[in-house]
Amino acid sequence: MLSRERHLGYFFAGPVLIILTFVMVFPLAYGFVMSLFENQITVEEFAGFSNYSEVLRNPGVWRSLLITFIFAAGSGGLKLILGMALALLLDRSSVFHSVARVLVLIPWMIAESVVGVIWRWILDPSFGVLNYSLLRTGLISESIAWFGDPRFALLSTIIVKTWVGLPFMGLMILAGLQAVPVSQHEAAIVDGANSWQVFRFVTLPNLRHVIATAVTLDFIWTMRSMATVYVLTRGGPVDATKIIPIRIYEEGFEFMRFGTATAMSVVLFCVLLAFIAGIIRSRVSEQAY
């Protein structure tokens, strides 16, 4: 029955594919074409790959890549550790369902840019709650400019990003935890394993796949949006938090150099594509036909 209707598949999927061609494929292709042109406000001439060599020779770009990596790896690591703790905690508790519902809610509810505004207030150097508490308890002797001081800015953005992404990580790991067969736990305990050994040799190996997926997805999503960092610091101070998307944004919309900006974005795209391809392969093959 299905084979006879093969053409109907095109009928149903057609509109999506046509629209996606216009709103996604075409802009991507056009972006690539833009990257081959010397493209300032008025001048526009074919430049081959010179934009690319310019981008790759720019030490600022490499610095931004490094910052992006520290930002993504730092917040990813924190999310993983805290997410694991959160998941283990929720796994034992019977109020799991109500808590989980609220957890799912948070990241979807608040726009990242509004999150940025809220954290600017919490971390406000003079009147924010955090500095007040730290001063009061004597942990610091003078106010810290969390986003104004190059030494703290990246750390502060990492903390905020961790807050944003923690629920997703926690829920993914929680789902993984609940899929660990109880019989394996019991067998380990019968064999005399203590709770750390059960965690290390039974729980953790079972979670390997879930953790790999969650960490990769989180990495891709951290690269995807610049909203949090841009609202918090605009990439400053002195470029301390200038992650690649912000550098591309500035190159394009502040310096009006679209050629080099699109060249940078193609580079970013290619870096991410390896990760994306990995995720897609595992996700699509999971789908039952």
The number of residues that bind another protein (CB under 8 A) is 76
| Piece of the chain touching another protein by CB under 8 A; list 69-77, 168-176, 206-214, 269-277 | 269-277
Binding residues for another protein restricted to 87-116, rule: CB under 8 A: 101, 105, 108-114, 116
Q: Which is it for strands 44-46 and 37-39: parallel, antiparallel or unpaired? A: antiparallel
Closer CB to another protein, 19 or 179, in the complex: 19
Sorted by sequence, the CB contacts under 8 Å of residue 222 that are 6+ apart come out as 71, 72, 75, 76, 161, 165
Q: Which residues of 64-93 are buried (b: 16+ CB within 10 A; e: fewer)?
A: bbebbeebbebbbebbbebbbebbeebeee
Interaction between residue 46 and another protein (CB under 8 A): no
Number of other CB atoms surrounding residue 185 within 10 Å: 16
CA angle at residue 71 from 102 to 234, to 5 degrees? 90
Closer CB to another protein, 93 or 126, in the complex: 126
The dihedrals phi and psi of 46, each to the nearest 5 degrees, come to -65, 135
Interaction between residue 280 and another protein (CB under 8 A): yes
Residue window 194-233: x/- pattern of binding to another protein, with contact defined by CB under 8 A: --------------------------xx-xxxxx--xx--
Sorted by sequence, the CB contacts under 8 Å of residue 209 that are 6+ apart come out as 176
Do 130 and 146 meet the contact criterion of CB atoms below 8 Å apart? Answer: yes
Closer CB to another protein, 8 or 56, in the complex: 8
Terminal-to-terminal C-alpha distance of the chain? 15
Q: Which of 139, 182, 238, 284 binds another protein (CB under 8 A)?
A: 284
Distance, in Å, from the CA atom of 13 to the CA atom of 130, rounded to the nearest integer, reads: 52
SS3 234: coil
Residue window 236-265: x/- pattern of binding to another protein, with contact defined by CB under 8 A: ---------x--xx--xx----x--xx--x
Closer CB to another protein, 79 or 203, in the complex: 79
Binding residues for another protein restricted to 113-172, rule: CB under 8 A: 113-114, 116-118, 120-121, 124, 126-127, 129, 132, 136
Closer CB to another protein, 154 or 164, in the complex: 164
Closer CB to another protein, 81 or 129, in the complex: 129
